[in-house]
Amino acid sequence: AQSVSQHNHHVILSEAASLELGCNYSYGGTVNLFWYVQYPGQHLQLLLKYFSGDPLVKGIKGFEAEFIKSKFSFNLRKPSVQWSDTAEYFCAVVDQTGANNLFFGTGTRLTVIP
Amino acid sequence: DGGITQSPKYLFRKEGQNVTLSCEQNLNHDAMYWYRQDPGQGLRLIYYSQIVNDFQKGDIAEGYSVSREKKESFPLTVTSAQKNPTAFYLCASGGGAGELFFGEGSRLTVL
């Protein structure tokens, strides 16, 4: 069965600090990878996705993620966070050949201090 | 506007009562999903439907039921058999490849 691990449960950063949130998945087949974000009081929305090709993908609001197949990882990064990045971040994976059943990690809450 | 509409946003229920959460989408997506979100546990899949009149159990289907009579609609019933129903429920739809669009959620509290 697929699983997704997010090791950081709560991250607190000051504005302008760099961010890296870890995501590891366990699945032997070919997968699509996603990061979703949930801002306070808002619905979950897609931040970025990886299907194939360049393993470094760029998303909205200056976020990027790197797929490292050998490490089964898809870490999220941002060089300089802003207070408005305060949110909960979820990594997710789906089997490319499967039934569109998305598996989510437990989420990482990011708090950015002005 | 295109999107997912969930209602009600907040719902209170007495123990032993069934409640139904509504989810409607106008994105013309075939697939629809119900997730449960609890603090520290991420999103867990309750039920999903790939096509009208068909649905599959997810990881935590016990105590829940769904129907998919129309492409646009995927209501979730939280039955009295659900032992711990107080949670935040999220509905989503997907056009393919795993990219999902979410509603704003329904918060159910059992009194």
Q: How far is CA B85 from CA A111, B78, B81, in A?
A: 28, 7, 9
The pLDDT of residue A1:
65
Nearest of B79, B77, B56, B57 to residue B66 by alpha carbon: B77
Low-confidence ranges of chain A (pLDDT < 70): 1, 97-100
The pLDDT of residue B41:
83
The alpha-carbon gap from B55 to the nearest alpha carbon of chain A, in Å, equals 11
- Is A52 an 8 Å CB contact of chain B? no
| Residues linked to residue B48 through DSSP beta bridges, in sequence order | B33, B56
Give the separation between CA B18 and CA B61, rounded to whole angstroms.
Answer: 15
Low-confidence ranges of chain B (pLDDT < 70): 1-2
Give the separation between CA A42 and CA A64, rounded to whole angstroms.
Answer: 21
The pLDDT of residue B95:
74
Strand ranges in chain B using DSSP code E only, listed in sequence order: 4-7, 10-13, 19-25, 31-38, 42-51, 54-57, 64-66, 76-78, 87-96, 99-102, 106-110
> In B, which residues are within 8 Å of A48 by CB distance?
none
Residue type, B35: Y
Interface test with A, best of B56, B102, B104, B106 (most A CBs within 10 A): B102
Other residues' Cβ atoms within 10 Å of the Cβ of residue A26:
12
| Residues linked to residue A90 through DSSP beta bridges, in sequence order | A36
